[in-house]
Structure 1
Amino acid sequence: MAEGHRATPEPQAAAGSGHAAGRGRPGLIDRRDLVAALDRAAEKQVTLVSAPAGSGKTSLLRTWADRPHQDRRRIAFLSVRPGQQDAQLFWLALLDAVRTAVGAEGAAEPSAVTPGFDGGVVRDKVLSEITASPTPFFLVIDDLHELESAAAVEQLGTLLTGLPPGVHAIVATRHDPSLRLHRLRLAGELAEIRAAHLRFTEAETRELLAATKIVLSDEVAGALHQRTEGWAAGLRLAVLSLTGHPDPERFVAEFSGSHRTVAEYLLAEMLERQPPHVQRLLLRTSLLDRVNGELADLLTGATGSERILLDLEDANAFVVALDAGRTWFRYHHMFADLLRLELRRTLPGNIPELHRQAARWFAEHAQAADAVRHLQAAGDWAEAARLLADHTVSLTLDGQAGTVVALLHAFPARTGEEHPELALVHANADLYQHRLDEAQAHLEIARAYADTTAPDRRQRLRMAIASLDLLLARLRGNFDAVFEQADALPSRTTGQSTTEVALAGDLRALALLNLGVTEAWSLRLDDSERHLLEGVALARDSGRPYLEVACLAHLGFASGNRSFALVRRRCEEALALADRYGWGAEPVIVPAQVSLAGTLICTGEFDLGAQWLERARRATQSEGEPGVRLLVHLVSAMLPAARGQLQETLAELTAAEQVHSHMRGEHGLWSRVIGWTAATQARLGMVEQARATLAALDERRAATGEIRTAAAVIRLAEQDPAGARRALRPVLDGTAPVNSFLTPIEAHLLDALACRDLGDKHAAGTAVEQALNLAEPDRMILPFAMTGAWELLETLPQRTSHAALVSDILDVVRGTTPGSPDRPPSVPAEDLSPSELRVLRYLPTNLTRPEIAGELSVSLNTVNTHIRRIYAKLGAGDRSAAVQRGRELRLLSNGRG
């Protein structure tokens, strides 16, 4: 069953047959793409089809050769007989195939074997016959791996590299022969079709099932494809067994390389063809999911295993390299099944010790999860429990918390009672699954066990328990407990042994993460940033990329009091690292995704922000960390608020309140949630509900800037602009505590709306200008859209120093996002100083340099100096070029549409 049609390996065609029959076989599918690929490859001088047994090489060649329009071509088709050692028989068979193809006189009679055979002479006869025939001419040789005559292989190589124009050769084999085709490869005259091309795709697997009228669900069909890895023979054997089967889905669930028909095929075609020392290696290492030369040497008690593994991979013997350096290998799933079956049949008594040897090797090479698996397979439950307890935290820090859960489930049901140290592992697994009460109970059991265990392990267990206590407090939102416990964790140098020092480093890094996150949720952002950066450095030093991603993911939020450019840069760094390790859709990266989304939404890039927000929502667990979930709901409320979709905004804020109600401490963004909730209610006309929301707050909370701005919104809804201004006064004069950089901007904008309602246009303009001053450094657009104050921008004097920002704001509320998707990323804010940025933002206006100096209250000389530096840094030669470059770098808007 190759690219044209795939089927079980078929009987060898007779040597010398010009075309092999095979058209119209039932239950096969037309693989046009694969046949077309062979057509394109066949345009080269030589095409090599190299793949394992049962990959469909013969079927591909026959389908390609048997097509009706191939009658216009001359095709000599030869299948090498099994175990062909006689060079004369091979060359005579090839000569007969060529003569049959060209219709030579007497071609029906096979050439006679003669004494004194000269392979070179017959090779030249073959070449002569081909050269004399009309072109195009194709020489197709199947099963070349069966040719065991080195002389014949060498002579064939000479023939293939010397074919005349218009003559092409296609060679199919299970492993690459020594034909010395490297010159053809360099010349671009060698095409290669390998196992990857021959494998069935999942769609083709479903097509094959449909062709044989076998009905399976998409999930089960996918499982069959995954199990067989698209191997043609395996699929065909499965299809034959599934035909008429009473329970096809159960068959697929149980189908493996140990299935009788598959095992018989693999045994005959693969295992029994290997010499005894190779069979020994394959059997003894089959219990491994992956193997390298050193580990294979250990399990076989021999040397040279790496060379054998490399040769097996080169020979397409169902051995697959897992890394570019070809140091680690695995066996094809079905071949591994067969090998394990044979190992159980031939060496059952050796299996436990093989697992123990593998466990010791993996433990010595810091691969604890593999070591635990093999200890469990050997039935050494006590040692497996001890090893897993010692490494449960480290495995989690490597992003293998799910692996820990799986290993835990592999223990017998009552193992925990016999080995109480597993309570620590249970606690860790509970925390991963956010079963916090169960985690607390298991930590108490682990604590009691640690008090009674041997002194050499007591400290290690206590350190691990302390780190899980800290994580539990964070996940419960018990921030005070985190701060109390953080100092009790070890320094980087604690411990007597190298292992203990490494564990102490891991636990300190975890403590820094938990502390930094808690400080972030408490809005102690400077402290959070410092501890998270230390955690990043420690994670890098100890080679813990998962922990590094976790710290980096929160750093964006922790940088929110610095600049949006820094937030964005740190979020993108975290996202890039997570993608590199395949964690781009995991909960660990959600803080970076949602912080980036919030930044984009704040700056008016709503569509891009919505994309990142959706990714964050998909990865957020319904019972995950409450601080993260609250942030996701809060940012989710920002987008509809900016678009005037107030019911959706209120729904997200209500969800955020529900999350917060389950926290034992108060999230720093809580006043933001309450303030926006009340403001949204007021804007929806729910003034009484809004007042009730604020009335439930104590005096401390009611005094915050976020609540006072909400009170101002309520006053405006009640048509009491003077009352709104009174509510805003403590925010505007800086006496009210605020927890968000958005709050002062909102306050000035609400004050502007109140002044407008009072008829004081000058005061309204001044308030808007102050809001623009605060919004300018980060290009803040969201507050103008949320409050509706953008309408006031239409009446601002054209000489405002924020013309570019005003243009951006108006573009956004009119439905045009500033910039374009393909615009280059912004340069770091440090490239232009704040003073230079202020001057740059006047350049799109019609103001002269003296007028700009007057607006900024600086000397003309200072403005000239800044402009020269701006030109130099942006690589611009004049004002127009500087404006264009500023727009490309998102330092200026693209102007009004």
Structure 2
Amino acid sequence: MAQKVTIISAPAGSGKTCLLRAWAGRSGQQFRLALVQVQRDQHDAQEFWLALLDAIGHGSAIAGRVEPRAATPDFNAPAMVDRVLSELADAHGGVTLVIDDLHELNSPEALSQLTRLLTNLPPRVHAILTMRHDVRLRLHQLRLAGELAEIRAADLRFSERETRELLDASGIGLSAAGAALLHQRTEGWAAGLRLAVLSLAGHPDPERFVAEFSGSDRTVAEYLIAEMLERQPPDVQDLLVRTSMLDRVNGELADLLTGRPGSERTLLELEDAGAFVVSLDPERTWFRYHHLFSDLLRLELRGTLSEEVPALHRRAAGWFTVQGQVVEAIRHTQAAGDWPDAARLLADHSFSLTLDGRAQTMQTLVGAFPKGADHPELALVRAMGDLAQGRLDQAAAHLAVAEAHVQATPPDRQRRLRVAVASLTLSLARRRGQLAGVIEQARFLASPVNGQSGGDIALGSDLRAVALMNLGTAEAWTLGLPAAPDAERHLREGAALAREIGRPYLEVGCLAQLGFASLVLHSFATTQRRCREAIALAERYGWGAEPVIAPALIMLAANLIWTGEFDEGERWLQRTRQALQTDTGPDITLLLHQTAGILHAGRGHHRDALEELGAAEYLGSQLADSQALATRTTRWLLATQARLGMTGEARALLGALDDERASSGEIRNALAVICLAEGEPAAALAAVADVLDGTAVILGDVTVIEAHLLAGLAHRELGDQRAASQAAERALALAESDRLVLPFAITGSRELLEALPRHETAHAALLADILDILHGSPPAAKEESSLPPTEELSPGELRVLRYLPTNLSRPEIAGELSVSPNTVSTHLRSIYAKLQVRDRSSAVRRARELRLLAAGRTR
């Protein structure tokens, strides 16, 4: 413990676990222990890290943790290591991490990240690793720094004196020569000595026994274990042999395999007798056999009960299925040789296993099927793995096989498989940007999946929640008003179902996409609130840097950038980059580059903006049906090129667009920027004319704001200050409700606004805020203690509220709304009470803080 890390590396039976238990159980132990037992043949890095986090939580008494650890299909290993290091640093007192059987961790990713953890352990934190052989950990820095202690087989061998002490403590009467011979023959191997002591106990001729065997290899263990096994009663032998096929066993499962009750008592007695049976939990309900003992018992099983082995595996598979331990159930079904059943079981549980973060284990199970065997059920599982790795063409091919197989399946399973295939098809279509036609074919996903049993219903709920999330996500990514209400409804239903069935990953996923979907239907205020709610829930489960929350992170960043909070928006952009470290899809990454581009453009950093927007344009070209996203990117790319004087490049890109895109309001605005850069203000006015008169197709009100500003800049160059001021005033009027700043920054409208007489504008406060930001002053900090309204404002009150920033009197507001002045007065009193203010200016200020001035609109 003088070093940071201790490695105990020695073959099976060397006494590693016994050494650890003895050390941990000594009196006066100063460090809290966080013990992780690596499960046999563990492939999923996430499973290991979650177990490590739980162990730290139990062992280090960290206060304030309330949420359980939960798995995510989008595992971000670097972020997980940072989280472990943070929790270790926050732990009270010293902590010792104990990782037993590390050689069973078959995940190169997990071992790589474990290296980073071990080389960056906080003060008063130590680690002890046990393994049968060295694993690929790059700990040379610790070794050179003298921070690595290594205990190996030679260190664990018994000396001749220790062998004598063991014999004496066990009551074995053996001569000094016999003890020396026993030590020589076993070479001090702990397991060999322990087995010899068990066999020597009560032996009529200990000296002859020692003389009759030689060597310290596996043959000694086989001989000694066989000797010990034969001395057990027949029912105990039968229990040990029949249950040896299990990695772990409890009394109920042992009773099932032996056909007799009382197995738990027998297992407890065997552990108490030191017969190579070890309990795995404090309650002593689960047990495992020593690996050497287990291997020999399995040889005995195949030799004496070979015909019963498949039936035993089927019984175990049935028990594990009922217990919900599906991986063990599939493994035993495979061991029984029931390959079609194993394929069906794996396909039925593939979504649940993915949600449990066991995708790698799932692919390992797929690899265990015989080569060349035709199991079309596995096409679904293979498609899931391909999607996760970004192999879209392979995923499409496997989905085609799975879809063809659906028609041949029994009716009771056909519906479930059809939903699974359609859900994955939607996910694939979104990744490719090929949503046209796919969504309509998948509308049936919104209806429930009916099951006959509780297990079927549970599986159906997992599947339906995933389907609702995928359907709502695909609808949201069309970025069109017709699909927006459906997207919102399906994502809300998916979140509610996920909450009901205890699937927080799906709930977070639905809420994150709901924040993204708000872009089309709702105000910036609603979008920001939804994004923050999704992020808060994700952080409760430690997923603040996982791809699942990226849509909410990027939309919050964009929201802040549009309202002029550039520094805060940049911080959320950085969070998004961290979350996308393990994401392989171009869609959300396109949004990241696009948002970074408009941030640079808003700050006037056009070279940086060009680089980001060029990356977004390239990604957009990979998405077949990304018309709305592509138009947004192209519009800003064209404008940025023009502002850099690259009008020739901009004209060339503009000429390559099809007529439909070229006539859109966004591209018309970009053309106006090009014209202004070329010194043609009249041509710029002509370019935005269709936007201003409402004949051009636009993506949202932001396009109209931008068109007014470009028109104002053109009028100003033509010497018509009155028209320029009128255009600026119209832009301010549209920007008022959401307090939009970016259009004014990105169009370079500072001088246009400065020329606007303050006494003539109805938006003096917003004008002042925008000019402050354009002059480099950050926006005023919000009051963190600012409380929301005690009650929500009614639709009538909201309509009145939106006229308060103007110069209109109460009778004039009444005239605009076609209501009586008394009605306006009544609404005003209610607004003041709910906003907890006393006058009109305070109400406007408070409404801006709460983003209540925003009306529902498209962007």
TM-score, with length taken from structure 1: 0.63
**Number of the residue aligned with 1:648:** 608
Higher RCO (Cα < 8 Å, 6 or more apart): 2
Q: Does 1:741 align with 2:701?
A: yes
Q: Please point out which of 349, 361, 375 is paired with 1:391.
A: 349
Aligned to 2:512: 553
In the alignment, the residues of structure 2 paired with residue 303 and residue 586 of structure 1 have an alpha-carbon distance, to the nearest angstrom, of 45
The residue aligned with 1:813 is: 774
> Compared with structure 1, are the counterparts of its residues 198 and 759 closer, same or farther at alpha carbon in structure 2 (3 Å cutoff)?
closer
Deviation at 1:595, TM superposition (A): 1.1
By how many angstroms is 1:198 displaced?
Answer: 5.7
- Report whether the alignment pairs 1:717 with 2:717: no
CA separation of 1:433/1:200 partners in 2, compared to 1, >3 Å: closer, same or farther?
same
The answer on 1:517 being equivalent to 2:473 is yes
2:545 alignment partner, SS class: coil
Is this contact kept in 1: 2:650–2:674, CA < 8 A? Answer: yes
Distance in 1, matches of 2:683 and 2:193, equals 89
Q: Does structure 1 residue 620 correspond to structure 2 residue 580? A: yes
CA distance in 1, matches of 2:511, 2:719: 49
- Within-5 A mapping of 1:509-588: 509-524=465-480, 525-560=484-519, 561-588=521-548
Q: CA contact under 8 A between 1:464 and 1:507: conserved in structure 2?
A: yes
Match of 1:445 in 2: 401
Partner of 2:835: 874
Q: d(CA) in 2 for partners of 1:784 and 1:357?
A: 71
Corresponding letter in the other structure for 1:388: L
Q: Residue deviations 1:364-401, cap 9 Å, x none?
A: 13343453355557776554333112221343355654
For residue 587 of structure 1, report the CA deviation from its aligned partner: 2.0
Whichever residue aligns with residue 545 of structure 1, its letter is P
Contact kept? 1:7, 1:56, Cα under 8 Å? no
Structure 2 counterpart of 1:553, one-letter code: A
1:637–1:740: structure 2 CA closer, same or farther, 3 Å change rule? farther
Look up the equivalent residue of 1:429 and give its one-letter code.
G
Kindly state the Cα deviation for residue 675 of structure 1 after the two structures are TM-superposed: 1.1
- Residue 427, structure 1, aligned to residue 383, structure 2: yes
Q: Deviations over 1:135-160 (max 9, x none)?
A: xxxxxxxxxxxxxxxxxxxxxxxxxx
- 1:728, CA displacement in angstroms? 0.8
- Please name the residue that 1:167 is paired with: none
Q: Give 1:359 deviation, angstroms.
A: 3.9
Amino acid at match of 1:815: G
Change in Cα spacing, 1:835 to 1:370, as seen in structure 2 (3 Å) is: same
How many angstroms does 1:683 deviate by? Answer: 0.5
CA gap of 1:318–1:747, structure 2 versus 1, over 3 A, is: farther
Contact 2:671 2:687 in 1 (8 A): yes
Q: Matches of 1:790 and 1:327 in 2, distance apart?
A: 72
How does 1:184-333 map onto structure 2 within 5 Å? Answer: 199-200=95-96, 220=115, 222=117, 264=190, 302=262
1:254, 1:448 → 2: CA distance?
A: 57
Report what 2:78 is aligned to.
Answer: none
* Cα distance in 2, alignment partners of residues 263 and 831 from structure 1: 79
Deviation at 1:782, TM superposition (A): 1.0
Q: Counterparts of 1:8-87 in structure 2 under 5 Å?
A: 53-55=22-24, 57=26
Structure 1 residue 221, shift from structure 2 partner: 8.2
Shift of residue 456, structure 1, vs aligned partner: 5.3
Q: What is the distance in 2 between the residues matched to 1:299 and 1:292?
A: 11
The share of aligned pairs that are identical, in percent, is: 49
Aligned to 1:668, what secondary structure does the other structure show? helix
By how many angstroms is 1:444 displaced? Answer: 3.4
The answer to whether residue 324 in structure 2 is matched with residue 366 in structure 1 is: yes
Instruction: Give the aligned partner of residue 692 of structure 2.
Output: 732
Contact between 2:245 and 2:298, CA under 8 Å: does it hold in 1? no
State how far apart, in whole Å, the 2-side matches of 1:467 and 1:880 are. Answer: 51
What does the per-residue CA deviation read over 1:105-131, in whole Å, with 9 as the maximum and x for residues that have no partner?
xxxxxxxxxxxxxxxxxxxxxxxxxxx
Report if the CA contact (8 A) 1:4-1:59 is conserved.
Answer: no
Q: How far is the alpha carbon of 1:883 from its aligned partner? A: 7.4
Structure-2 separation of matches of 1:744 and 1:392? 48
1:674 to 2:611 alignment: no
Amino acid in structure 1 at the alignment position of 2:321:
A
Measured after TM superposition, the shift of residue 643 of structure 1 is 0.8
- C-alpha separation in 1, matches of 2:192 and 2:725: 83
Q: Distance in 2 between matches of 1:481 and 1:774?
A: 35
Which is worse superposed, 579-588 or 427-436?
579-588
Distance 2:286 2:765 in 1: 59
Q: What is the CA distance between 1:624 and its match in structure 2?
A: 3.0
Aligned-partner residue type, residue 383 of structure 2: A
Residue aligning to 2:561: 601
Deviation at 1:501, TM superposition (A): 5.6
AA partner of residue 346 (structure 2): L
Cα contact 1:823–1:888 (8 A) shared by 2:
no
Distance 1:221 1:666 in 2: 40
Distance 1:881 1:751, change over 3 A: closer
Output the CA distance in 1 between the equivalents of 2:711 and 2:591: 27
Whether the 8 Å contact between 2:445 and 2:468 is mirrored in structure 1 is no
CA distance in structure 2 between the partners assigned to 1:402 and 1:791 by the alignment = 59
* Cα shift at 1:447: 4.2
Counterpart secondary structure, 2:609: helix
Report the residue type matching 1:55 in the other structure. A
What is the rounded CA distance, in whole Å, between the counterparts of 1:53 and 1:360 in structure 2? 38
Q: Deviations over 1:459-486 (max 9, x none)?
A: 5444433333333333222112413421
Give the Cα–Cα distance (whole angstroms) in 2 for the partners of residues 475 and 445 of structure 1.
Answer: 20
Change (3 A) 1:458 1:860: closer
Q: Do 1:2 and 1:60's aligned partners in 2 also have CA atoms closer than 8 Å?
A: no
Show CA shifts across 1:268-316 (max 9, x none).
Answer: 9xxx9xxx999999999999899999779878954889x999x99xxxx
Give 1:769 shift. 1.6
One-letter amino acid matched to 1:532: L
Residue by residue, what CA displacement relative to the aligned partner does 1:438-462 show, whole Å, maximum 9, x if unpaired?
1222233334545555665555444
- 1:834 paired with 2:792, answer no
Q: TM-score, normalised by structure 2?
A: 0.65
CA drift of 1:608 comes to 2.1
Amino acid in structure 2 at the alignment position of 1:362: F
Structure 1 gap segments, 5+ residues each: 9-50, 64-174, 176-194, 203-215, 893-897
Report the Cα distance in structure 2 between the residues aligned to 1:345 and 1:569, rounded to whole angstroms: 62
Residue 150 (structure 1) aligns with:
none
Asked whether 1:782 is paired with 2:749, we answer no
Q: Specify the structure having the higher radius of gyration (Cα).
A: 1
Please report how far the alpha carbon of residue 820 of structure 1 lies from its aligned counterpart in structure 2 after TM superposition.
Answer: 2.9
- Which residue of structure 1 aligns with residue 74 of structure 2? none
Name the aligned partner's letter for residue 764 of structure 2: A
Q: CA separation of 1:567/1:354 partners in 2, compared to 1, >3 Å: closer, same or farther? A: farther
**Residue by residue, what CA displacement relative to the aligned partner does 1:185-225 show, whole Å, maximum 9, x if unpaired?**
xxxxxxxxxx99564369xxxxxxxxxxxxx9995485699
8 Å Cα contact 1:5/1:60 also seen in 2: no
3-state SS in 2 of match to 1:585:
coil
Number of residue pairs matched by the alignment:
673
Cα distance in 2 between the residues matched to 1:821 and 1:871: 20
Q: Give per-residue Cα distances to partners, 1:684-742, cap 9 Å, x unaligned.
A: 10111111111112221111110111011111111221211111111111111111332
Change (3 A) 1:346 1:362: closer
Question: For each residue in 1:57-97, what CA deviation from the matched residue of structure 2 results, as whole angstroms up to 9, or x when unmatched?
Answer: 55768x9xxxxxxxxxxxxxxxxxxxxxxxxxxxxxxxxxx
Letter in 1 for 2:788: V
Once residues 724 and 618 of structure 2 are traced to their aligned partners in structure 1, the CA distance between those partners, rounded to angstroms, is 38
Change (3 A) 1:735 1:327: farther
Partners of 1:354 and 1:406 in 2: how far apart? 23
